[in-house]
Structure 1
Amino acid sequence: MSAKNEASVWQGFKAFLMRGNVVDLAVAVVIGAAFTNIVNSVVKGIINPLVGAIGTTNLDNYSSCLSASCKGTKGIQIMWGSVLGSTLQFMITGAVVYFLMVLPMSKYLARQEARKRAREGTREVVEVTELEVLKEIRDALVARGGTGHDARWGDRP
């Protein structure tokens, strides 16, 4: 590969990394990894002991046997407890991400949009109000005895 091709490849890679979507994705992965540790701690420290009050503290111990007997590695076992644990971890992760990230960001963006609309609406009202004031001034001048036209200005409307 020539030096020119290496430079263009490097520039292309650099441009790819600097695009907003890639940076946002990298931040999401790092935040997701941090939340995963928190959620795993919540499941192990709170959810599993609560489940353990009615059974075992390790959800992986819940299973069903499809064969006549399941001892050790013999028999066909369905490990539905591990599926339940993973589902709970997924639900908790989703709830944490939604309530701590998505919902506040949605509310923030909605407030920003409302402020923007309010500013735009205020500008329109001011323009309309100024136009109305000018019309009132014109009407007052006409009512005071003028025709509304001045010979110096010609017959412009």
Structure 2
Amino acid sequence: MGFIQEFKTFISRGNVIDMAVGVVIGAAFGKIVNALVANIIMPLVGYLTGGMDFSDMAWTIQKADPETGKAAVSIGYGMLIQVTIEFLIIALSIFLVLKVINKLKASSERLDFTKKKNAGKADIATPAPAPEPTTQEKLLGEILD
């Protein structure tokens, strides 16, 4: 089998296509969450904390020195806070989706188990119906009556 044919077989598998769709949807969802956090949640948190802008928060190790031209050395932890909030929202969303999926799988498995259990009982408890009498048996029955 040639390289191109193997690649076509690999790409046409359902799992690879599902995974690609998941990656695209995940990237789009990440952009939505990023916009939500940056434009709605963080401004609200800033308002509640007295106008604090988290994206500018930093710990300055060394201040800038204009005489020597040295730039300031600082650790910006504000963006870390913002990205952590984004991560927590995405993780919570994934958790909730997986919880619903697992609950649906469990109820489906219970339903299948109950169907199999009841099907086995129905076969054992219900006797087979009596066969239909033949024409000869019907005539003999009428003669006896």
TM range (shorter): 0.7 to 0.9
| Residue identity matched to 2:101 | M
- The question of 1:124 aligning with 2:131 is answered no
| Equivalent pair of 1:70/1:77 in contact (CA under 8 Å) | no
- Aligned identity (percent) is 30
Q: Report the aligned-residue RMSD.
A: 2.3
Which structure is higher in RCO with an 8 Å CA cutoff and minimum separation 6? 2
What is the alpha-carbon distance in structure 1 between the residues aligned to residue 65 and residue 81 of structure 2? 22
Q: Offset at 1:70?
A: 4.7
Give the alignment partner of residue 81 of structure 1, picking from 78, 81, 85: 78
Normalised TM-score (structure 1): 0.68
- Aligned residue number for residue 15 of structure 2: 21
- Aligned residue number for residue 28 of structure 2: 34
What is the alpha-carbon distance in structure 2 between the residues aligned to residue 29 and residue 19 of structure 1? 16
Give the alignment partner of residue 44 of structure 1, picking from 38, 42, 46: 38
**Residues 103 and 70 from structure 1, CA distance in 2 versus in 1: closer, same or farther, beyond 3 angstroms?**
farther
- Aligned residue number for residue 111 of structure 2: 115
Q: Return 5+ residue gaps in structure 2 as ranges.
A: 129-145
| Equivalent pair of 2:38/2:82 in contact (CA under 8 Å) | no
| Equivalent pair of 1:60/1:82 in contact (CA under 8 Å) | yes
Normalised TM-score (structure 2): 0.72
| Equivalent pair of 1:60/1:81 in contact (CA under 8 Å) | yes
| Residue identity matched to 1:110 | A
Q: Offset at 1:97?
A: 2.5
- Aligned residue number for residue 141 of structure 1: none
Give the alignment partner of residue 61 of structure 1, picking from 56, 62, 66: 56
What is the alpha-carbon distance in structure 2 between the residues aligned to residue 39 and residue 71 of structure 1? 39
1:65 is paired with a residue of what secondary structure? strand
